[in-house]
Amino acid sequence: MTDLVLVLGDQLSPGLPSLRQTRPEDADILMVEAISETDYVWHHRKKMVLIFSAMRHFAAARQAEGRKVIYHRLDQDKPCADFADGIERALAANTYDRLIITEPGEWRLRREFETWHDRFGLPVVVLEDDRFLCSHDRFASWAEGRKQLRMEYFYREMRRETGLLMEGDKPAGGKWNYDAENRRPATDDLFMPRPHSVEPDAITREVLDMVADRFPDGFGDLEPFRFAVTTDQAELALGHFIATALAEFGPYQDAMLRGEAFLWHSVLSAYINIGLLDPLAVCQRVDAAWRAGDVPLNSAEGFIRQIIGWREYVRGIYWREGPDYVRRNALGAERPLPDFYWSGETDMACLAAAIDQTRREAYAHHIQRLMVTGTFALIAGIDPHALHEWYLAVYVDAFEWVEAPNTIGMSQFADGGLLGSKPYAASGAYIDRMSDYCGDCRYNVKDKTGPDSCPFNSLYWDFLDRNADTLRSNPRLGPVYHNWDRMDDAKRQAYRDRARDVLAAL
Ligand code: FAD
Ligand code: DLZ
Ligand code: SF4
């Protein structure tokens, strides 16, 4: 029996189920740089380089192990239109008994794979992706019968099941969550680690040229390209993060600084998402560093929670909620995405900084995504689907299963509160507390409603006012609406007027 094993660009794990379950002598691997994948949404050009270079390295490594790999390049004579085109070409050249695939990371492809049995007339075996800690069944059994699907309770179960940061059956240090210790603003005189940087090799150089050539007007800078493209390089990046940044990751997790894109963040999400690093193994290394006394518990816990908690939890939500999740719009927000999300040309220093580094690095850390670009879109009433397409386009780690719940759910409250207990709306005071952006801004963060007032200040109240019918009954917003109600009419009107001017200028 000969199998054809299709491996996608975010499935670059040697231990992938479809590779584990087929024998090298009985199975050909098929990898396709497909026009469809570069075109169905925009991608940052660095993300394309990462994926194609990592795919080419992965194919070479499998070939070196003795596997047969059929590899279609985007710059070959007649590139493949899509994955089906690649499969058709393989079937025309060879006889295969089965097509084996590990499940993809988005509904679009899952739906397409379901048509392939009829289309190609051979059995199609889709295997569950076990590179995640929590299977679909496990998530369903956790969610079953719960009124609210709160991440914190899910996370505790994952801690118990993995034994990470556990002392017997108790959480290390006696608490599950050390977030209260993790909200320090940073100053630029602190030692600043830098993420591990990899010099592009000949394969990456070739891909850089190809992407520059094919996507001259694509979003984002290509150079300098410093990402790891193999598992060995990604392992070095992980070791470098643990040695230089993890200890301070916790306290400064929410901090933002001008000119500092990475701070104490790991910059490992893309490597984990495309399969170069295994999420459980990453957490075990962090757990070991804590047990060895190299890093404090609040940092190790904060980091591990993001991976076995948030990352697994949002994936569970994505598959549970179905393909229409990305279209949810509980607050009826319909304003088009402002052009400055692409150009970075805005007087708002916080947004300019986050978007500018996004163009340069294909990276912004969680609080920049959530509390700068996310919060602004939320309080300005931007269409959540347009914003979802933006996040999918601009980050190196963007894949729908993880991006959509973070955007539609956590950031925009467009799922009506399934994922978050309240919207992440905030005035400029939050950004002022956690960053040094405001000092450099043409707007005044202390001014509430004047012509130079920080736009976040008026939009925040206007957002609550506009959405009062939906949000007033939210118990976590009770005190906020109480404050709004206590304001005199003139003040409330001043907020509305300033917000109207800000929105008109968008
Ligand atoms: P660190 O801060 O070092 O965190 C460690 C790891 O935890 C990350 O590498 C990542 O694997 C995981 N992680 C952290 N937060 C989350 C989270 N909220 N959800 C899932 N995993 C998490 N993450 C993506 O991987 N892809 C996306 O497309 C993506 N889109 C996002 C969109 C919005 C609107 C928001 C608010 C968040 C999004 N995130 C996304 C989550 C998070 O911002 C990134 O995972 C993180 O910034 C990646 O940088 P890092 O590797 O330095 O993470
Ligand atoms: C993101 C991406 C891009 C740009 N190109 C390819 C490609 O040409 N071939 C491929 O196999 N995968 C690519 N990917 C990743 C896929 O889009 C990803 O596998 C799906 O989005 C499922 O998560
Ligand atoms: Fe952003 Fe307002 Fe601060 Fe300017 S003043 S950086 S717009 S929060």
Query: What is the DSSP code string of 27-55?
Result: EEEEEE--HHHHHSS---HHHHHHHHHHH
Question: At the topology level of CATH, where does 3-127 sit?
Answer: Rossmann fold (3.40.50)
State the pLDDT at residue 29: 98
Give the chain's radius of gyration (CA, Å): 24
Cα of 400 to ligand 2 centre, how many Å? 11
Ligand number nearest to the C-alpha of 406:
1
Tell me which of 249, 301, 397 to substitute to probe ligand 1's pocket, judged by most ligand atoms within 8 Å of the beta carbon: 397
Ligand number nearest to the C-alpha of 439:
3
Residue 348, ligand 3, Cβ within 6 A? yes
* Exposure class string for 255-268: b at 16+ Cβ within 10 A, else e: bbbeebbbbbbbbb
The closest residue, in CA terms, to atom 2 on ligand 2 is 37
Ligand 3 atom closest to 437 (CA)? 6
How far apart CA 372 and CA 351 sit, in angstroms, is 6
* Token pair for 326: 């990305």
Cα of 373 to ligand 3 centre, how many Å? 12
Residue 296, ligand 3, Cβ within 6 A? no
**Dihedral of CA 436/437/439/444: which sign?**
negative
Phi and psi for 110 in degrees, rounded to 5?
A: -60, -45
The closest residue, in CA terms, to atom 8 on ligand 1 is 269
Phi and psi for 30 in degrees, rounded to 5?
A: -120, 125
**Are 181 and 251 within 8 A, CB to CB?**
yes
H or E segment and range at residue 235: helix 231-244
pTM above 0.75, yes or no: yes
Cα of 99 to ligand 1 centre, how many Å? 33
**Are 282 and 268 within 8 A, CB to CB?**
yes
Q: Do domains 3-127 and 340-505 have the same CATH topology?
A: no
DSSP state, 363? -
| Residues contacting 472, CB < 8 A, separation 6+ | 481
Q: How many Cβ atoms from other residues are within 10 Å of residue 303's Cβ? A: 28
Q: pLDDT per position in the chain (506 positions), as tens?
A: 799 999 999 999 999 999 999 999 999 999 999 999 998 888 999 999 999 999 999 999 999 999 999 999 999 999 999 999 999 999 999 999 999 999 999 999 999 999 999 999 999 999 999 999 999 999 999 999 898 899 999 999 999 999 999 999 999 999 999 988 888 888 877 778 999 999 999 999 999 999 999 999 999 999 999 999 999 999 999 999 999 999 999 999 999 999 999 999 999 999 999 999 999 999 999 999 999 999 999 999 999 999 999 999 999 999 999 999 999 999 999 999 999 999 999 999 999 999 999 999 999 999 999 999 999 999 999 999 999 999 999 999 999 999 999 999 999 999 999 998 899 999 999 999 999 999 999 999 999 999 999 999 999 999 999 999 999 999 999 999 999 999 999 999 999 999 999 999 99
Q: Which architecture, in CATH terms, is 340-505?
A: Orthogonal Bundle (1.10)
Give the residues surrounding ligand 1 with Cβ less than 6 Å away: 265-269, 272-273, 303, 306-307, 310-311, 314, 365-366, 369-370, 374, 391, 395, 397-398, 402-403, 406-407, 410-411
Ligand number nearest to the C-alpha of 74:
2
Tell me which of 430, 431, 434, 502 to substitute to probe ligand 3's pocket, judged by most ligand atoms within 8 Å of the beta carbon: 431
Cα of 436 to ligand 1 centre, how many Å? 22
State the pLDDT at residue 180: 86
* Exposure class string for 207-233: b at 16+ Cβ within 10 A, else e: bbebbeeebeebbbebeebbbbbbbeb
The closest residue, in CA terms, to atom 7 on ligand 3 is 348
The closest residue, in CA terms, to atom 18 on ligand 1 is 310
How far apart CA 400 and CA 417 sit, in angstroms, is 19
How far apart CA 439 and CA 322 sit, in angstroms, is 44
The closest residue, in CA terms, to atom 8 on ligand 3 is 428
Strand 98-102 and strand 124-127: the pairing is parallel
The closest residue, in CA terms, to atom 10 on ligand 2 is 9
Angle of CA points 158, 163, 166, to nearest 5°? 105
| Residues contacting 58, CB < 8 A, separation 6+ | 7, 12, 31, 230
Q: How many Cβ atoms from other residues are within 10 Å of residue 64's Cβ? A: 8
Angle of CA points 110, 113, 114, to nearest 5°? 90
Ligand number nearest to the C-alpha of 448:
3
Hey, what amino acid is at 487? Answer: M
**Are 414 and 321 within 8 A, CB to CB?**
no
Residue 326, ligand 3, Cβ within 6 A? no
How far apart CA 290 and CA 300 sit, in angstroms, is 6
How far apart CA 270 and CA 233 sit, in angstroms, is 13
Query: What is the DSSP code string of 380-415?
Result: HTB-HHHHHHHHHHH-TT--HHHHHIIIIIIIT-TT
Q: How many Cβ atoms from other residues are within 10 Å of residue 356's Cβ? A: 16
The closest residue, in CA terms, to atom 5 on ligand 3 is 445
Ligand number nearest to the C-alpha of 455:
3
How far apart CA 93 and CA 98 sit, in angstroms, is 15
Tell me which of 356, 441, 446 to substitute to probe ligand 3's pocket, judged by most ligand atoms within 8 Å of the beta carbon: 441
Residues in the chain: 506
Strand 166-167 and strand 170-171: the pairing is antiparallel
Phi and psi for 25 in degrees, rounded to 5?
A: -75, -15
CA distances from 501 to 18, 186, 337, 450, 458 (A): 56, 33, 17, 11, 10
**Are 171 and 163 within 8 A, CB to CB?**
no
State the pLDDT at residue 317: 97
Give the residues surrounding ligand 2 with Cβ less than 6 Å away: 8-10, 32-34, 37-38, 43, 48, 51, 104-106, 109, 399
Cα of 330 to ligand 3 centre, how many Å? 27
The runs of H, that is alpha helices, within 82-133 are 83-93, 107-114, 116-120
State the pLDDT at residue 93: 97
Cα of 225 to ligand 2 centre, how many Å? 19
How far apart CA 182 and CA 291 sit, in angstroms, is 20
First and final CA of the chain: distance in angstroms?
Answer: 61
The closest residue, in CA terms, to atom 2 on ligand 3 is 454
* Exposure class string for 280-299: b at 16+ Cβ within 10 A, else e: bebbebbbebbeeeebbbbb
State the pLDDT at residue 283: 98
Hey, what amino acid is at 3? Answer: D
Domain ranges of the chain: 3-127, 136-195+245-321, 340-505
Residue 426, ligand 3, Cβ within 6 A? no
Q: What is the dotted CATH code of the domain comprising 136-195+245-321?
A: 1.25.40.80
Cα of 211 to ligand 2 centre, how many Å? 14
* Token pair for 23: 């024998």
